Amino acid sequence: MEHFQALIVGAGPAGSFAAELLARDGVKVALFDGRPEGEPKACGGGVTAKALKAWPHLLNAVGRTVDKLEMYSP
- pLDDT tens-digit series, residues 50-69: 877 887 877 776 666 778 87
Structure confidence at residue 60 (pLDDT): 72
The domains of the chain are located at: 1-34+44-66
Quickly state the pLDDT bin for 9 (edges 50, 70, 90).
very high
**Contact indicator for 1, 11 with CB cutoff of 8 Å:** no
DSSP-H helix ranges across the chain: 13-24, 49-54
pLDDT digits (tens, 9 = 90+) for 16-42: 889 999 999 999 999 998 877 777 665
pLDDT of residue 40: 67
Find out whether 59 and 49 touch, Cβ atoms under 8 Å: no
**37 DSSP 8-state letter:** T
